[in-house]
Amino acid sequence: MTEKANQGLEKPLLRVLKGECVQPRPIWLMRQAGRYLPEYRALRKQAGSFLDLCYTPELAAEITLQPIRRYGFDAAILFSDILVLPDALGQTVRFEEGIGPKLDPVTADNLAAVCRPEAVLGGGNEKLEAVYEAIRLIRRELPAETALIGFCGAPWTVATYMVEGGGSKTFERIRRWAAADSAGFAQLIDILVDTTVAHLLGQIAAGVEAVQLFESHAGVLDTVGFARWVLEPARRIVTALHAAAPDVPVIGFPRGGGVQLPRYASETGIDALGLDQSIPLDWIDGLLPKNFPVQGNLDPIYLLDGSAEIARHVEAICEALPERPHIFNLGHGVIKETDPETIQTLVECLRSL
Amino acid sequence: MTEKANQGLEKPLLRVLKGECVQPRPIWLMRQAGRYLPEYRALRKQAGSFLDLCYTPELAAEITLQPIRRYGFDAAILFSDILVLPDALGQTVRFEEGIGPKLDPVTADNLAAVCRPEAVLGGGNEKLEAVYEAIRLIRRELPAETALIGFCGAPWTVATYMVEGGGSKTFERIRRWAAADSAGFAQLIDILVDTTVAHLLGQIAAGVEAVQLFESHAGVLDTVGFARWVLEPARRIVTALHAAAPDVPVIGFPRGGGVQLPRYASETGIDALGLDQSIPLDWIDGLLPKNFPVQGNLDPIYLLDGSAEIARHVEAICEALPERPHIFNLGHGVIKETDPETIQTLVECLRSL
């Protein structure tokens, strides 16, 4: 590990994740690979379903590398999906074009039948092995200065899809289960904690140099639920990762976590905090320990129409974090209608500051 | 106004809104009138569409009073909808059973044609007059100790429906307009500010004793957008209301506003702050001025299954705000599957503390 770790420390993104201020600030974008890129859309046709893309190592690797070739981002993020985990656990997961993911919902009654942790924990899961093979292919092609980030959805967020059967506006089904039968719901969360650790360690063994935990639905719980279903699972995951892979930093991204972000940063053990666009940077900067790295948080909406205002927004974000280790990113994923040229403008703006 | 104001001061809810700690804490619930009540469902059949209910004074009044008769809440809230304003402005608004509101979207191009402020500002709008007539009917029937609350959606939130054409998960259309053409979008917000003031003053003239501004989609903007489209319109509305009706308190409810709540409380001029269930009470209690009233914030999910845990949740909320003027409420509306008996348990719990 020592040689690999030293090598890793030289990449700008990893230096920031270890607490260093690096200029120009490293940049990558959530959903930097995907539908806004014509080269992605061309390649998309070569696979039947979205999950086929994720499970075809050559395609997943190629898609991961597309934005690196185009923009020279400081990190590639594995092209995959947070729902490969429930898929690997045995739940039926379908991606419907233009609609989003559809799952046969997990309930208290069918949990044991639908969700089999041994399918992941034993190793050798065919679907996840394909993901790890993609990582090995990516590492071979990636420029020396570019870091590779792996990821999982955090247990609460993955559970929302598993229990609601897809996306949701109200999250009533899962919130109801968690509130009325917390012991039963905890079984699902426990399975997700253990298998998330296993899948992230699998990604790390295959070559990712940092991991991000996407807690995309952190904002829908009350404070009691947030502590139990967001903070505590993240703490267990980070503890296990740090024990098994102490050199690999963990970025936590509790989107919509708002007021709870300082607690999330201090109680979970994460190494860096992802910020959505609702977070006032002066507020979070005043509450985090010196040298605690953050990532974010340009509103991706500003990338949709022209580029006249981008320089101003980029400057405002950097000026609000003058002495903070900072990875430039969006507050949410690239919107599919974004013009690829505008992303080029963004990268140039940041690097010319 | 003096006699009315003195009379108003005697109602427990209004005493809290003026900064007094009252025991037992007054209680009302967002969406306390509606589909979870069998008497509502029986009455619902008497009108063709949902908006017909809102515009039939006898029905709107009866629905408003139903939960007061059943539970003796400390406030009635006018049965109406935040979309009566775009409907009164001339936009086509339909409520589709089980789907939600559908509107023919407002765009920069059709704004002047679709949205006619003079239809509201001139007075005498037939739809809004029906709302005011409902208020007069309610005041006649309301117990002497029960306050009547009027409301509007805040401009940003109402605009989300007007521009997206209904509910949304991503709010991309409105965020794009606001980001790319802020001067054009400001015309829509300006219309909503002016007509919201007019509609709230109409409600006040008819007899409401406090008003609530529902900013249900406060959480989707970046900090720049929040300042311009949430804080500033609220400030203008509150300023106008206080000038015209200084005795009528304004409750601001920026749902999902999170980190921005202290700013919302101090910069808009509101008299009380509504809290959604994500807000840690010790956090907000430490940041608001002494005697600044708050309202909230039980997660309505706890009312869905049985009532064993309700006492514990109610106690925790009250104990977290030991010396703060506090109106007990939910963090979001009553969920339609709620058993009416559970609401009874909640009210008894609170009043027996």
Tokens 């054409």 belong to residue: B165
Mutation target to probe the B interface, by most B beta carbons within 10 A, among A31, A161, A222 is A222
Residues of B with a catalytic annotation lie at: 31, 35, 44, 81, 161
Q: Which residues of B make CB contacts under 8 Å with A?
A: 167, 169, 172, 175-176, 179-180, 219-226, 256, 258-261, 277-281, 283, 297, 299, 301-302, 304-306, 309, 313, 316, 331, 335
Specify the pLDDT at position A9: 53
Specify the pLDDT at position A118: 97
CB contact (8 A) between residue A299 and residue B169? no
Specify the pLDDT at position B9: 52
In tens, the pLDDT along B127-176 reads 999 999 999 999 999 999 999 999 999 999 999 999 999 999 999 999 99
pLDDT beyond 90 at A350: yes
CA angle, residues A263, A266, A269, in degrees to nearest 5: 125
Cross-strand partners of A148: A76
Nearest CA among A85, A91, A103, A96 for reference residue A150: A85
Mean of the per-residue pLDDT values of chain A: 95
> Using an 8 Å Cβ cutoff, are A338 and A300 in contact?
yes
Specify the pLDDT at position B154: 98
Q: What is the 3-state secondary structure (H, E, C) of B273-303?
A: EECCCCCCHHHHHHHCCCCCCEEEEECHHHH
pLDDT beyond 80 at B4: no
CA angle, residues A248, A250, A255, in degrees to nearest 5: 160
Nearest to B222 among A258, A277, A306 (CB): A277
Q: Between these two residues, A9 and A49, which has the higher pLDDT value? A: A49
Structure confidence at residue A48 as a pLDDT band (50, 70, 90): confident
B249-261: burial string, b at 16+ Cβ within 10 Å, e else: bbbbbbbbbbbbb
pLDDT beyond 70 at B3: no
In tens, the pLDDT along B274-333 reads 999 999 999 999 999 999 999 999 999 999 997 778 999 999 999 999 999 999 999 999
- Look at residue B271 and give its three-state secondary structure: coil
In tens, the pLDDT along A249-293 reads 999 999 999 999 999 999 999 999 999 999 999 999 999 999 999
Structure confidence at residue A34 as a pLDDT band (50, 70, 90): very high
Asked whether the ipTM of the predicted complex exceeds the cut of 0.90, the reply is: yes
Percent over 70 (pLDDT), chain A: 97
CB contact (8 A) between residue A223 and residue B277? yes
Structure confidence at residue A96 as a pLDDT band (50, 70, 90): confident
In tens, the pLDDT along A130-142 reads 999 999 999 999 9
CB contact (8 A) between residue B277 and residue A306? no
One DSSP character per residue, B85-145 reads: HHHHHT--EEEETTTEEEE----TTTHHHH--THHHHTS--HHHHHHHHHHHHHHHHS-TT
In tens, the pLDDT along A304-324 reads 997 778 999 999 999 999 999
In tens, the pLDDT along A185-238 reads 999 999 999 999 999 999 999 999 999 999 999 999 999 999 999 999 999 999
CB contact (8 A) between residue B219 and residue A256? yes
> Using an 8 Å Cβ cutoff, are B153 and B193 in contact?
no
pLDDT beyond 50 at B115: yes
Percent over 90 (pLDDT), chain B: 92
pLDDT beyond 90 at A53: yes
- Look at residue B153 and give its three-state secondary structure: strand
Specify the pLDDT at position A47: 81
Alpha carbon of residue A209 to chain centroid: 13
Specify the pLDDT at position A7: 47
